[in-house]
Every structure is written in structure tokens, then in C-alpha cells.
Chains A and B, each alone.
Chain A
Amino acid sequence: MQSDPAQGPPAHDIAMWGAPGSGKTTLLAALNIALMRRKDEWKIVGSDAASSDYLIERTNALSSGKIFPEASQSLEHYRWTLVGPAERQERRWLRKARPTPPLTIGISMVDAPGGLFSAGPLHTANGSGVADDLRRRLMDNLVKSRGLVFLFDPIREFELGDAFDHLHPPLTRLAEKMLEIGELRDGMLPHHVAVCITKFDDPRVLETAQKLHLLDSAPDDEYGFPRVTSEDARDLFRALCEVSASGNADMVVNALDQFFHRTRVEFFVTSSIGFYVRPHTKTFDWNDYQNLLPEAGKDLRIRGQVHPVNVVEPMLWLGRRLAAGGPR
């Protein structure tokens, strides 16, 4: 994928946010695969060589190598543009219809090591001074961005329960900065937030949704994957918070409600790798849908094809909401 020099700097920055291991890097790679699997013309284009290389590398690791992309080890600022299908205007009188420029949503993503957001000390090879610098740069990006992707890993929350620890400190500092520059609106942060509940493919998450009768299916989904609509995603989020290891997950919801307008927060139930589908049936099978494969002495591999679930939707939702609001 090559960058489009004509795009210029993106109009909107979307920052990714989440605890370490919550799947930020994997979500980026899955985003590209998901766009390529869509039957419309949406695509993602790198805005510079580094961003294109990053995307190619992560995408190949996920799709061909069937391994999870390496987590971010340094603060990287990548820029892409989501390019939609070109819209054609209707003919007027004898004038020839002119194709309008394709719908584009500028996205700038800040990919950072998960631990950078936490309240505790960050251990880097270059010492705490470097960590402070990273935090400062990251905070600058959060201040400049108007869209946030907050990744909530329910399995990590069940086992470690540290989502709130990774959300609250930077959120407080962000509010402080925004207040300082007069960007708080009605006492709220001006950002749109896409809360992505990850690992929908994990049996523990899927079974929870099933027990709560939150499962739906998209009629146009060729595999018949179950899904949870955005309307129901908040209920699932609350249910998953109840089994938090620390018992603090309910404060994640409260913190989001305190700092952001309710209308600016949307929940998405996502899976970067999706469900396993047998090659000869190509249909979701309730008996056998786990797409992770353990290997002796190694990390988990991806078992079958990657079928990302609901990873494009948060980006498009953010992009459209930001575009509707105009440039900053």
C-alpha cells in the first residue's frame, strides 16, 4: 500500500488508548485486513513511508504468518487516510456529470507502548527521562486529537483488572491540559470516544454475550458470525466489568461518563482475528469457533483465516463524527 502524496496532513487525529496487551497493534493490522475483505471501496492509505511500512508489516504478520504483531515498543506516530468510494453527482441539463473526489477521512494514529498510559513508572532502556518525554509527547497527541479509540480487554480485566489504572491517570491529565487551553466544553472533554471491547472471539466473552441474549447476526455476513450491536455493547461492557479482578472496572464506565458527553461515546464489540471458520464450510460453527492455537513453548498462533469483526466500524464512526464536526 502506497501513500497518497495528494492527501496532505490529516485533518483529524485518532489516538489509540488501552492497557498493555489489550490488542492495539493487532487492531491496526486487523483494520487493514478488514478493509480489504469489505465489498465496498473503503481502503486505508499510508500518508508516509513509515506508516505504510508499519501497516504492511503488521498486516502480513497477522494474515500470512498467523502470528500476532509485536506490541509497540516505542512511541510512533502514523498517519493514514481512510479513502471511501467516489461519489458521482447527477447530470444537470446537458452538463456532463463530474465525479467528485472520493470521501476521505483523515486518520492519524498514535501507537504507543501500552504501559505508557499507566499510572506507575515506565521502564525503558533509556531511563525515566525518556519515559517522561514519551508521556509528554503522547499527552500532546491526545490534546491535539479529537477522536479516541479506547481498547478494553475483558480477559485482561478478568485476570488483572487494570483497565481503570490505565485510563484514569492520563484522562485526568488530559482534562487538566484541555482546561488550561480552554478546550473543555460544558465541563467535558471535546473528544469522541470509540470504546472497543476486544477479544469477542474468546469463548468467555462470547458466552457472556450469549447468556445476556445480546447476540445478533448481520444478514449480509457471509460467515454468519454472531455480533453485538453498538446499542447492546454498553450492556455487555457493564456485564464484563462485573467480573473484573480488581472490582474497579465499573469506574471505567463512570470515568467515561464524567469526562465525555454521553453522545460522544460509542461502544463496539470487536475481534481482531475473528472466529475460526472451517475452509470447506466457510460458516461459523458454534461447536468450533476458537481461532487461537497454542504451540508448545511458543506464543499463541492464529489458527485459521483472520476475519476481523467490527474493527472498521469504530474508525468510520469516529471519522464521520469528526468530519461532521469540521476541522478543529
Chain B
Amino acid sequence: MSEPDKALLRKAVARAVAGLTATGRLTIVEVAADGMTVFRIHRDDNGRPRCHYWSSSWEDLTSEQGWGHESSRPAVLRAADPFSADEVVLVCSFPEGAEADRALAWLSEARPAAVLPSDGPVTAIVEDVLASDPLTRSYDLVVLRADHASGRLRLGSKQLFPIGALPGTRAEVAVRCEPGDAYGTAFAVVTWQGREPRLLSVHSARLAPGSYLLTAELVRPGKVRFGGVPELTRDPRGWDDLVAAAPAQLPPRAGPAHLICAVEVCGPDAKVEERLSRVRQMVSHLSAELADLLRVSLVTYGAHSYDDRSAGEHPVEVAAWQVTPERALAALEWLEERGAITEGYPYYPHAAQVEDMLDAVARRLSTAERVRTVLLTVGDRPPHPARTNRSLILPCPRRHDWRLLVGRVQGRPDTLLAAICDREDTSPHPVWRRLGADALAHLDALDIRGLAADLGLAAPAALPIPFPLLDETE
């Protein structure tokens, strides 16, 4: 093919492809020495030009009857099907052939069109035109947009390539990746048809959490190559699967916190030891999560003594208040060495100084402080009521009312109530449901990490973010 002919043909094909609408059909018929090749081109849902082609030899088309037989013409027209196309381009690559001339005449007669000359295969030209077709729809990257104030996540898109972008165009997007789901983080490209996204491609990889400068290169219509992240593999999920995987909320961001551990230190030694051990685990875990953002208070309480044979009960003890985790752990060590308190024996066996503990905590908590505060109560006994009632538990000697005090602590801004109850029966006293209003766990089945996450003191381990994150401010 001479260069001018080739350029002319390419230009004509490119013009015809560019003019293809979303539902349009383009047919290119190449008439050659031994037969003809038909290229049927349309745009798919993403606006990408797709081509199907087939070839028929003259022998197949004329059958055994020969060119002179009346059945040859319909056979040629049936194979080319020029009537179903919106535009037809006829190409002749063997102008001296009688069969080619006759076929071209039949085709021109049926669907008048200019006949472009070609001295080589048209396939390469069609493939080249399709591969360099400018985008008819923009290509967007699927992202999660995060509103850090509310923690809300919104599934959205970030444009990579606008309409008209040509292969070879590159784009950069700064994203943050968090631990993803089973597929890792998905890099999905969509086009938009009105308000409806159309999935073009999905590739994913398990990435280390962090910020990435993602590069995207438009290789050809329908193919985007990503860089700046480890190698991606094809992801088999469809659009609905991807949407279902998107969480609605960011995991709570850990910030400054005040953890108040109130521990019941009466009863069997083994139980007291276990309670203090759980508190140690909690403080250690949060210390690793929050470092110097954490302040810890330790309060212990035992049982009242109503017996005049007793030397006097052991009062509520504030072993540490708003200290660093290190100092709290040191105070805890001292409590562990001391073990269960026996002072005040014989002490009341069916309740403990929960109400006195609440009073001590409520008195110390400043209402001006705006730090997330968690009161974690560890024990199993109910409190004493403020006055004699049908529970038959003797009233608190100081007449503290646990209901009022729980309400006072709970009503404080950004203050949560958590409890670890080790009561044997399955239905703890209602106070434990109040003390554990925001998180209630059993001593024997305690997930420290989960408890901390429930209280917003640490990010949950198991909340996947399966898409790149884009800050709303960006």
C-alpha cells in the first residue's frame, strides 16, 4: 500500500470510528483477490470501540454455480450485510480482479459508498485506529471519600482521563490505602453513562497501609495500567460485589483517652488476680496503641462491712489518677502483690462498694475535660442500694445511689461505660448492663482488642477498607 493510500484509508476509518455513536454500527468491507473481509465495529457500554470481522472466499460465496448464477449477488450482500450498518466503508485491495469488481459493484449498488484503494491488509489499519481512538467517555478511578469529622465513607470516583484523552496519557492520584479485604485494595476504573457507573476494569493487590502516589496510564481504550503500587492482579468481582464490599464508616480514629479501671478486689484470691491481670492486658494494649495519648486511673473497691466485730472496712482506694500507662502499670503491680483485701472481715458477701467507687470517680472527673473517657469496671457483685428495698441487700452506709451516680458519669461528654463481669450465672445484675452500657464482656471470653475498638480507643483489626481512600479535602 502506498503511503498516501494508507494514510487516506486510515484517516477515513478513523473518521468513521470517531463518528460512531453509542448504538451506531460501522461496517468496513475489504474486497481482495481471493474473497472479502467484513469488519463490524460498534462501541460497548464503556464507549470503547469493539470490532468483529470475518472473511469469505469467492468460492464459498459463489458456491458451485459460478459468478454468473443469480444466487451469487445475494450471497455477497448477505455476507457483508451493509444494510444493518449506519455507515459503510468499502475498500478494494485488488482492483484488477473480475470477482472483486463484481462484488464491489453489487455492494455499491446496494449501499452507495466511496471505494477506497488499498494494496495491503486492512486489519492492521483497523486495529491501529481502534487502539488509538480518543476516549468518548471519561475514565474514573473508584475511591472511598472519607469525612474524618463524621467518620463517614462515601463511594465515589476520581477522574483519571477526560473525554478525548489519547492512549499514552498519564495521570497521578494521591491515595491512602488501609488494610483491605480478601482481595486487598481494589483499583477499579469506571465510566459513567448518565449517573450510572459502568465498570471497565478491576485489579487489586494486598498493599501495606500507607499513602501512595498512584500513576495511571491509558494504554488503549479500555486498558489502564497502574503504577506506583505493587503489581496488581485481575479481580474477578463485578460492580455489585465491589459496592457491597465498601464500608459506610471509617474505623474510629484513636485519640487522647482517659481509661479509668475500677476493680473489685474482694472475694477469692484467684478471681481478684484474674481481674487485675485483665486490667494489665488492657492498659498494655492501649499503651501500645495510643502511647503518650493515654492516661490511666486505677480505682479499687471491696465490700462493705456491717458487722460490729469487724475492725472497719477497707474503703474505695484511688491507686492512681490520670497517670501515664507506665505509672499505672507500676501501681497495678503493687495491687497484684497485695491481692484480695481481707480488711473488714467478715464483710458483706452479696454486694460490693460499686456505688462508693462511682461516687469517687464522679467526684474526680472534671466536666471541663474534653478527652474520651472510659470507665472500665471489672468485678461481679452488685452495688448496695441507697435504701432498704426488696433486693434485701443492705443499703450503702453512705447512702450513695448507684443509679444517680452511673447517670452522672454517663452524662458527661464523650464518656463511655465498659464492664468486664465475671459473674457465673448468665444474667448479671442490671447494674452490670448499666456499667457496661457501651461494652460488656465476660472475664472468661474477653477480647481485649475488640473491647478497645468497641470503645473507640483503638482501630478495629477486622474492618477492611477495600478501595483507595481519598480525603474530602483533596
A interface with B by C-beta (< 8 Å): 202-204, 207, 286-290, 292-297, 301, 303
Contact = CB atoms under 8 A, between A and B. Distances in A.
B390 interface: yes
B350 interface: yes
Contacts of B346: 295-296
Contacts of A296: 346, 349
B306, B307, B389, B399 pick with most chain A CB within 10 angstroms: B306
A203 B395 CA distance: 12
Contacts of A292: 392
Contact of B388 (A288, A293, A301): A288
A203 B389 contact: yes
Given A288-B387, A303-B306, 13 more contacts: A203-B388, A203-B389, A203-B392, A286-B387, A288-B388, A288-B394, A290-B394, A292-B392, A294-B348, A294-B349, A295-B349, A296-B349, A297-B349
A288 B387 CA distance: 6
B387 A294 contact: no
Interface string B349-363: 110000000000000
Contacts of B388: 203, 286-290
Nearest to A304: B308
B348 A287 contact: no
B349 A287 contact: no
B262 to A, nearest CB: 22
B386 interface: yes
Nearest to A204: B390
Interface of B: 306-307, 346, 348-350, 386-390, 392, 394-395, 399
B348 A203 contact: no
A202 B346 CA distance: 22
Contacts of B395: 287-288, 290
Contacts of B306: 293, 303
Contact of B386 (A207, A287, A301): A287
Contacts of B350: 294
A127 to B, nearest CB: 39
List the 10 closest A-B pairs by CB distance, nearest first.
A296-B349, A287-B387, A288-B395, A290-B388, A203-B388, A203-B390, A204-B390, A289-B388, A295-B346, A293-B306
A293 B392 CA distance: 10
A290 B385 CA distance: 12
5 contacts: A203-B389, A287-B387, A288-B394, A290-B394, A294-B350
A294 B303 CA distance: 13
B399 A287 contact: yes
Contacts of A207: 390
A202 B350 CA distance: 17
B349, B350, B386 pick with most chain A CB within 10 angstroms: B349
A204 B388 CA distance: 10
Nearest to A295: B346
Contacts of A290: 388, 392, 394-395
B306, B388, B389 pick with most chain A CB within 10 angstroms: B388
A202 B348 CA distance: 18
B96 to A, nearest CB: 116
A204 B386 CA distance: 17
A283 to B, nearest CB: 15
Contacts of B386: 287
A303 B387 CA distance: 16
Nearest to A303: B306
Contacts of A286: 387-388
Contacts of B387: 286-288
Contacts of A204: 390
A293 B389 contact: no
A294 B393 CA distance: 9
B323 to A, nearest CB: 34
A203 B392 CA distance: 7
Contacts of B394: 288, 290, 293, 303
B416 to A, nearest CB: 32
A143 B392 CA distance: 40
A11 to B, nearest CB: 43
A309 B354 CA distance: 34
A204 B346 CA distance: 26
Nearest to B391: A203
A292 B350 CA distance: 13
Nearest to A287: B387
Contacts of A297: 349
Contacts of A294: 348-350
A203 B346 CA distance: 23
A184 B394 CA distance: 49
A317 B455 CA distance: 66
B63 to A, nearest CB: 103
A1 B348 CA distance: 36
Contacts of A203: 388-390, 392
A297 B346 CA distance: 11
B383 to A, nearest CB: 15
A287 B399 CA distance: 8
A314 B464 CA distance: 77
A301 B386 CA distance: 21
A296 B307 CA distance: 12
Contacts of A288: 387-388, 394-395
B307, B350, B394 pick with most chain A CB within 10 angstroms: B394
Contacts of B349: 294-297
Nearest to B394: A290
A132 B57 CA distance: 122
A289 B389 CA distance: 10
A289 B385 CA distance: 13
Nearest to A300: B392
Contacts of A301: 307
Contacts of B399: 287
A292 B306 CA distance: 10
A212 B300 CA distance: 43
A25 B348 CA distance: 26
A279 to B, nearest CB: 8
A322 B71 CA distance: 138
A261 to B, nearest CB: 37
B465 to A, nearest CB: 52
Nearest to B346: A295
Contacts of B392: 202-203, 290, 292
Contact of B307 (A202, A287, A289, A293): A293
Contacts of B390: 203-204, 207
Contacts of A295: 307, 346, 349
Contacts of A289: 388
Contacts of B307: 293, 295, 301, 303
Contacts of B348: 293-294
A296 B267 CA distance: 10
A274 to B, nearest CB: 14
B419 to A, nearest CB: 23
B402 to A, nearest CB: 15
